[in-house]
Amino acid sequence: MPRVRPRRLRATPALRRAVSETRLHPSDLVLPIFVREGVDEPVAISSMPGVVQHTLDSVRGAVNEAAAAGIGGVMLFGVPEVRDAVGSGATDPDGILNLATRVVADEVGDALVVQTDLCLDEFTDHGHCGVLDAIGRVDNDATLERYREMALVQAASGSALLGLSGMMDGQVAAVREALDTSGFIDTAVLAYSAKYASAYYGPFREAVASTLQGDRRSYQLDPGNRREGLREAMIDIEEGADIVMVKPAGSYLDVLSDVAAASDVPVWAYQVSGEYAMIEAAAANGWIDRQRAVHESVVGIRRAGADTVLTYWATELAGWLNDGVVA
């Protein structure tokens, strides 16, 4: 007869609840939101069922709903009508992302942390996260100049937390310095520190209507590299990042765990478009229990060490938490 019986603590719902190690709370969730220029109605994103490109008007409803559900914040992405080589729309105060930031900041006040994607890929015609040099390579240091400009416009538009997702070397230090020397000392920096060159960003390309020439392997991390993910996070903390992030989440839980163990700043994770699409597709086919799979996927990311999770299910999942359907 076994002397040690771990099953004892699993016997009833009350016992299981009492010994649960990982609980979700709405404030641990951040909703990524797309806002598209030049449309009168929200546009569905076919590879992300349930997610839309918002208009400057419909985004108000989405953020009010998010605030009512008690989530932690929203991460805004702009979908511009026109793109060029240097991503001019990104630094235009009336560019779609900056306009949307003003609308959202005005709508929700302090109820949500208003965050913005600080990267050029939504705004460049070649789809890269930076500007290109004469022979078509992404030019790191010239891109840093564009990021500095973006940071100032985003901060002035009302973004409280800048999501640096471009994976250029020195981007955190460059943006921090630009913000500080222009008086934006309280605007925080979320560094997408360990951002891998991932196939899971696929549906995001449809979401921001952008096509990429080539690939991003010269600046995003190789999916096989674990130590390098930790190194990137440590560099970003050294450069002044207020929060570091691992992305994607589900396939990089070891990296997340390493970063969480070593970091003295909050650690976030981004459950990306492809992770969303896979569960939605399986659920639509009746192959998986949607609610349980969504919940479990986010619990796993929290358990691995994320303090906060960016997820397209943020508002819906917060609703389930508030209703006590999941914990």
Q: Give the residue numbers annotated as catalytic, written as ranges.
A: 195, 247
Reply yes or no: is the peptide bond before residue 13 cis, omega within 30 of 0.
Answer: no
Please identify, using beta-carbon distances, which residue of 92 and 327 lies nearer to ligand PBG. Answer: 92
Q: Which stretch binds ligand PBG (CB under 6 A): 83-91, 113-121, 168-176, 287-295?
A: 113-121
How far is 129 from 247, CA to CA, in rounded Å? 15
Nearest residue to 113 via CA among 74, 85, 141: 74
Structure tokens belonging to residue 18: 């009492």
Of 204, 219, 252, 268, the one binding ligand PBG (CB under 6 A) is 204
Q: Is 17 part of any known ligand binding site?
A: no
Q: Which stretch binds ligand PBG (CB under 6 A): 101-109, 118-126, 135-143, 235-243?
A: 118-126
What character string, x for contact with ligand PBG (CB under 6 A) and - otherwise, covers 161-190? Answer: ----x-------------------------
Please identify, using beta-carbon distances, which residue of 119 and 259 lies nearer to ligand PBG. Answer: 119
Instruction: State how beta strands 43-44 and 52-54 pair.
Output: antiparallel
Angle between helix axes 58-69 and 96-108 (nearest 10 degrees) is 50
Of 34, 184, 196, 201, the one binding ligand PBG (CB under 6 A) is 201
Chain center to CA of 320: 21
How far is 1 from 15, CA to CA, in rounded Å? 23
Helix (H) or strand (E) holding 116: strand 113-118
Q: Is 216 part of any known ligand binding site?
A: yes
- Contacts with ligand PBG by CB under 6 A lie at 117, 119, 121-122, 165, 201, 204, 272-273
- Which residues participate in the annotated binding site for Mg(2+)? 232
- Which residues participate in the annotated binding site? 205, 216, 232, 273, 312
